[in-house]
Structures are given as structure tokens and as C-alpha cells.
Structure 1
Amino acid sequence: MQGLNLNRRGSQIYLLVWLCLGSAFGSVLVLAKVAPLANALLFAIPMHLLYAFVAGYSAHYLCRAYPLSGRSEGAIVLVLLMAAMVSGLLWLGAGQLWNSACLALGVSWAGIALGPQLAATVVGLGVLLYGFAAALHYLVIEFVRAKQAEQRELESLLMAQEAELRMLRTQIDPHFLFNSLNSISALTSQDARAARRMTLELASFFRQSLGMEAHKKVTLGEELKLIRHFLAIEQVRFGERLQISEQVGEQADDCLVPPMIIQPLVENAVKHGICNLPEGGVIVLTARRSGSMLQIRVENPVDPDAGAVQRDGHGIGLSNVRQRLAGVYKHEASIHWGRQDQRFAVEITMPAQTGEGE
């Protein structure tokens, strides 16, 4: 029975089943006119409750010693059959002792006539009930093993997913850093104040981005602060060519998003949009909450002769965002992109969560 004592409810159900079996056997004795109802139940129920423990513990250790996957079927059947026969005979002996004690009371409602035919029936029933207990233990063992294997697989999957998400979150375009450092170097001799401002913005950007790595999700407001540092750096490089239009709804600011999920989109908008336009343009960043969903849109102008990244959306930034959304939200989030006229837009839809427990 030890294998079934996974919780109180399981042991209660186990004992209730054996109680029902004892009552059923007592009813059979009454219908066969072997003994009156009280005598039959007084004999059958204690016998079955005793056998519940004896057969339960014996079957538990045998099922552990002879697992279905580690032994031949013949050896398992032979061992269980021998154990069932021994248990049935011991059960008969215990029943005879109990019946003798009941008869010694000298009252009409205790004790039954335990003849050879009934004794053989008790042994045969003991063999069958032992088989029932063994089958039940094998079922529980296989169920627990399947659950443990599923748990290990899930843990491995989560660890792999965490590693993948960590890798994706650290894929900041090195060109951004190199270009920023080159711009700072060039500005040092031309505009020391602008070089200092760009250096401070770059330090703030990386300080905040490293701080966000420790969190699985951050508020949209924190993500936008990081984006503003990034755009401030780029505005030093592009000057008036880079214009920003930010439209964020009141309820959207507190929604949780994966760290640096929007920054690659804005970076793409600068690299593949503004950078290729001599006259520059406006990057429009929109975020709004619609019921239980959060919608984020990044739109930028593009050169009519823009490259394949803007045409089919196979850039590293978009692939990064798509994989991270799938890893965090599965099918609940989506990302769509497309080009219309001379504008390219990326739109993300994800669950609007305001707490980690949601």
C-alpha cells in the first residue's frame, strides 16, 4: 500500500475499495446461506481490510523489484503468482484464527462455518485480490514514472527556452555600438558638447539594457525609456533627419513586455529607413491597449529602392522579435509587417499583462 500513499485522498480511496470488496464478499456469503448477515460481515470486512495492508505492502515491494520494463514477462508472472499463492494461504490462516476468536465469544452473531469449500474460495479470492493489488501498483508506478518523465522534459524545455531567450535578448546590433563610437570620435574634435551628450546617452542606454536583463518582463514605460536613450544617440548622428512621433495610450504604459522587444524594431526603422533617406523622415511609435491585448506599431519611411530586408521582413531584428514572442507567449502573440507606398510598418499584438502572475 506504500506506493498508493501519495496523499490522504489516495489512501482513503484505496481503503474504501477494499471495504466495498469485503462487504461484497460478506453479501455473497449471505446469499450462499453460509452465514447470517452480521456473522458474514464480521468475518469478511476485517479480513479484507487486513489483506489491503498485507497485499498492498507486498505488491508494492515486488512491483518495485520487478518493474515491467526491466524484467521478462514470464519472471514477473511467476513471482507474482507465487506471492499471490503464499498471500492467499496466509490470508486463510489469518481468517481461521479470526473466525476461531469470534466463535470463542459464544454469541450467535459472531463466527461462521469455515468448511473446506469456503477455505478454497478464500485462497482463490486471495490470489485474485493480490493480482488486483499488483496491477494497481504497476498502474501507479507507471503513472508516476510518466509524470516524472514529463516533468523532466518540461524542465529541459524551459531551460532550453530560457537559454534561447537570453541569447536572443543579447543580440544587440554591434554596428550600432561601432557607429556610435565612431560618431563620438568624430564629434570630439568638432563638437565636444555633442560628443559628451552622446557618450552619456550611450552609457545610459547600456546601463539600462543590462539592468533589464535580470527581468523576464518590464513595463512598456521602462522599455520606452530605453528606446528614448537609443533615439537620442541616433539623433546626435542624424540631426534633423531623424524625427520621432510617440503615441502611447494611458493604459498601455503599465503593461508588461519582454525586455528589449521593441528596440530592435526601432533600430531597424533607423538603419533601413532613415539611414537610406537623405532627407530623413519620421518614425511613428504607437502603443495602445485594446481590451485584453496590447498593440504596438513601429512605422518608418523607406527608400523606394530599399533592400530585401524591408521588402520581405527577413532581417535579424524581426526574426529575433518573432522567436522571442513565440517563446514567451506561444500562439497568444503575433507579429505582422508590411510595406505600403513608401512606409514600412511592424505591428505586435500580445496579451496585456500588468502583473507577473497573469
Structure 2
Amino acid sequence: MIGAPGNRRSTALYLAAWALLGALLAGLMVAAGDAPWGASLLFAVPLALVYGCASGFSSYYLCRAYPLAGKPLYAVLGVFTCSAVCASALWTAAGGGFADALRGLVTGMPAMTRPFAALMFGLGVILYGLSAVAHYLGLEFERARTFERRELEMKLAAQEAELRMLRTQIDPHFLFNSLNSISALTSIDPGRARGMTLQLSDFLRRSLGMDAQRKVALNEEIALVRAFLAIEQVRFGARLRFEEAIGEGAGQCLLPPMLLQPLVENAVKHGIGNRLDGGTVRIAAECAGALLRIRVENDADEDDAAPTGSGCGIGLANVRQRLLATYAHEASVHWARFDAQFRVDIALPIETKPITES
């Protein structure tokens, strides 16, 4: 910020601008009289630097004290007019004294004339006003940047809360049925009970280890789906089958974590679970131009006229909201019923992990 405490680069640029203004003032002195360039620069450049620092700090803190949105316009104009007149008058007086001091030290240094003093006073008022305008613009830019940063932080917090809500929506019946199956297998087949316990632990570890603020590769998401289906297959046995077809390069594409989990859970609960002979859950993914296209498909009961139940509707709405929050209108999700199949199609922009050099 001009005139405010900042980094060295900004300060150097600010002082360089005022040194240039001092050089222009020296040029005016040369053009107005017989003053040599050396004496004029020795007089004008230090004087401009001093005024730049003084007016810069003064106008900066006045801009902070009198924000345009919080004060009447007449009050702001009155304060800055008085400040500009006082600062310029002091600068002109200091210039006269500095000129008198230099006359005894530098050959050819003329006395300050009234026309030049009037010019210097007017220039000081204008420069003070320009400094105030620059500070107001800088403060507005800083405010807008702070607002954008807070909006981004709120968006990330909302996404994290949304992922936590999604985790709480994992069907409680899935956990209850898994624990009941483990309990039943303990006395019948301890080996399978132990295997199911390890599979449930692996699923919970994978799901709870996902960070809401980063995207995961499709391969990681598919691994989570496999862990979920491995647990369900202990209950459904051969009635539940899984097929996947991941195209070249699609597995490395990024997507929000646990995006496919509610779709696969719906497929098992509302599709496979309603069929006596079970069915197949299929996941296919491919890169098509700038889009990653994912299809989640499952066999459904032909006699069931409703394509989705209440829980299925919540899961699909959750997926749509997460895509909208992450990609705005660049992503889409559509679902439809085709005879004995229910299909969900997702399209989202292709993103991959950046390659890091070791």
C-alpha cells in the first residue's frame, strides 16, 4: 500500500516515483530561471522524497479513518482539502527554507520566487489528492481480496461439512448388517468373520482418511468401492457381482472424495437387494476430450416402477450438490431407468495430479 508499511519492493517503487517527480520539478526550475541542473536536482529531489513520505503516510491513515462507505462525502472532501492545503503550505515553506540554506552552499542556486512558490503549492495540493485517491483504490482492492479469500475459506468449510454429512449418511443398516453378519459368522465360520472384520476396518480407514479439501484419483475411489462391495458380498454372496471398465488415463483423473460411494450404495440397496437372483454393479470411466465421463449402472427389479427410493434420491441429490459446489456448471450428473437397469452418468472436467520433481 502506498505510504503504508509494506515490503521493500513496494517502498522502493514508491520512492522512485517521487524521485522522478522531483526531477520534473527540477526541470521546471531550470525552465523558469537560470538555475543549473545540478543545483535544481539537489534542491528538488530530496524535497520531493520528504513530501512523498509525509503526504503518503498522512493520506493513508486519513483514508483508513474516513472510509468512503462509512462517512458522508462532504466530510471526506472537507478533511482532505484542509489536509492537502496544510501539507502543501508546509512543503512550500520548507522548500523556501531549504533553498535559502542551499544558496550558501551551492553556486548558482537562485532564491525561490513567488510564482514558483505558487506553482509548488498547487502541485503539492494536487499530489496530496492523487495520493489519497491511490490509497482509496488500494484499500478497496485489499478489501475485495480479503472478501474473496473469506469466501473461498467459507466454500472450503462448506465442502468439508458436506463431506462429513455424506459420511453420516452411510446407510446405518450397512453397518448394522455387517456387524450382525460378523456375529453370526463367529460361531459358524470364524475365518470368514475375521476376514469380514478386516474388510470393514479397511473400508472405514479409507473413507475416514479422505481429506475434504483435496481431490482423489479415480483409482482411489474405485478401491473404496471395492472395499465396500467386498463387505456386502459376504451378505449377498454370489447374488452381488461387480464389473469395472476404466479407460486409459481415466484412473489418474481427480474427483471429489466419496463421490461414487452413495451411488454404489444405492445400487446395492435399491437395486440388487430387491432382486431374488441378485445382479451386477458396473462402473465405467473414460476420458472424452476435456471431460471425464463416469457411468454407474446396476440391475434393477423390472416390476419396481419407481426408479429411486427416498434414500436413493438423497444420495443422487448429494452428488449433484457436491459437483455444483466444486465445479459450478462445468460438471453434470444425469440418471435414468432403462428396463431392468438403473444408470447414472457423471461428466466433470479432467484434472490430474501435478508431476513433482524429486
TM-score, with length taken from structure 1: 0.82
State the partner residue of 2:96.
96
State the partner residue of 2:347.
349
1:308 alignment partner, one of 282, 306, 309: 306
SS of the counterpart of 2:344?
strand
For residues 193-238 of structure 1, give each alpha carbon's deviation from its aligned partner in whole angstroms, at most 9, with x where no partner exists: 6555544433433343333468844443333333223223322333
Deviation of residue 172 (structure 1)? 0.5
For residues 278-316 of structure 1, give each alpha carbon's deviation from its aligned partner in whole angstroms, at most 9, with x where no partner exists: 232222222334565433222112222324344999612
Gap regions ≥5 residues in structure 2: none
Counterparts of 2:72 and 2:213, CA distance in 1 = 51
**1:156 and 2:154 aligned:** yes
Counterparts of 2:44 and 2:274, CA distance in 1 = 91
Deviation of residue 102 (structure 1)? 3.0
Counterparts of 1:285 and 1:112, CA distance in 2 = 88
1:222 alignment partner, one of 220, 223, 240: 220
Equivalent position amino acid for 1:304 in 2: E
State the partner residue of 1:265.
263
2:235 alignment partner, one of 237, 256, 264: 237
Counterparts of 1:328 and 1:169, CA distance in 2 = 18
Please show how residues 322-341 of structure 1 align to structure 2 within 5 Å: 322-341=320-339
Quick one: structure 1 residues 178 and 138, their matched pair in 2 at CA, closer, same or farther if it must change by over 3 Å? same
Counterparts of 1:73 and 1:353, CA distance in 2 = 49
State the partner residue of 1:143.
141
State the partner residue of 2:202.
204
**1:64 and 2:60 aligned:** no
Does structure 2 retain, via aligned residues, the 8 Å contact 1:294–1:349?
yes
Counterparts of 1:29 and 1:174, CA distance in 2 = 86
Deviation of residue 183 (structure 1)? 4.5
State the partner residue of 1:14.
14
Counterparts of 1:267 and 1:307, CA distance in 2 = 20
Counterparts of 2:227 and 2:54, CA distance in 1 = 72
Counterparts of 2:49 and 2:342, CA distance in 1 = 75
State the partner residue of 1:276.
274
- Sequence identity of aligned pairs in percent? 52
Does structure 2 retain, via aligned residues, the 8 Å contact 1:272–1:306?
no
Equivalent position amino acid for 2:17 in 1: V
Task: Name the Cα RMSD after superposition.
Answer: 3.4
SS of the counterpart of 1:308?
coil
For residues 26-76 of structure 1, give each alpha carbon's deviation from its aligned partner in whole angstroms, at most 9, with x where no partner exists: 444444x43346254444333322211222222233333333344444443
Quick one: structure 1 residues 294 and 143, their matched pair in 2 at CA, closer, same or farther if it must change by over 3 Å? closer
Equivalent position amino acid for 2:10 in 1: G
Does structure 2 retain, via aligned residues, the 8 Å contact 1:19–1:45?
yes
Q: Which is further off, 325-334 or 208-217? A: 208-217
Quick one: structure 1 residues 257 and 169, their matched pair in 2 at CA, closer, same or farther if it must change by over 3 Å? farther
Deviation of residue 89 (structure 1)? 2.4
Does structure 1 retain, via aligned residues, the 8 Å contact 2:266–2:312?
no
Does structure 1 retain, via aligned residues, the 8 Å contact 2:196–2:234?
yes
Equivalent position amino acid for 2:89 in 1: L
**1:34 and 2:16 aligned:** no
SS of the counterpart of 2:200?
helix
Counterparts of 1:221 and 1:155, CA distance in 2 = 28
Does structure 1 retain, via aligned residues, the 8 Å contact 2:252–2:353?
no
SS of the counterpart of 1:350?
strand
TM-score, with length taken from structure 2: 0.82
Equivalent position amino acid for 1:52 in 2: G
Gap regions ≥5 residues in structure 1: none
Counterparts of 1:96 and 1:294, CA distance in 2 = 73
State the partner residue of 2:117.
119
Does structure 1 retain, via aligned residues, the 8 Å contact 2:307–2:337?
no
State the partner residue of 1:299.
297
Counterparts of 1:300 and 1:336, CA distance in 2 = 15
For residues 243-286 of structure 1, give each alpha carbon's deviation from its aligned partner in whole angstroms, at most 9, with x where no partner exists: 22222345444444433222222222222222222232222222
Deviation of residue 356 (structure 1)? 6.7
**1:80 and 2:80 aligned:** yes
Quick one: structure 1 residues 322 and 357, their matched pair in 2 at CA, closer, same or farther if it must change by over 3 Å? farther
Does structure 2 retain, via aligned residues, the 8 Å contact 1:313–1:337?
no
SS of the counterpart of 2:353?
coil
Counterparts of 2:313 and 2:254, CA distance in 1 = 25
Quick one: structure 1 residues 331 and 6, their matched pair in 2 at CA, closer, same or farther if it must change by over 3 Å? farther
Does structure 1 retain, via aligned residues, the 8 Å contact 2:103–2:111?
no
Quick one: structure 1 residues 303 and 249, their matched pair in 2 at CA, closer, same or farther if it must change by over 3 Å? same
Deviation of residue 7 (structure 1)? 3.4
Counterparts of 1:82 and 1:213, CA distance in 2 = 56
Deviation of residue 151 (structure 1)? 2.2
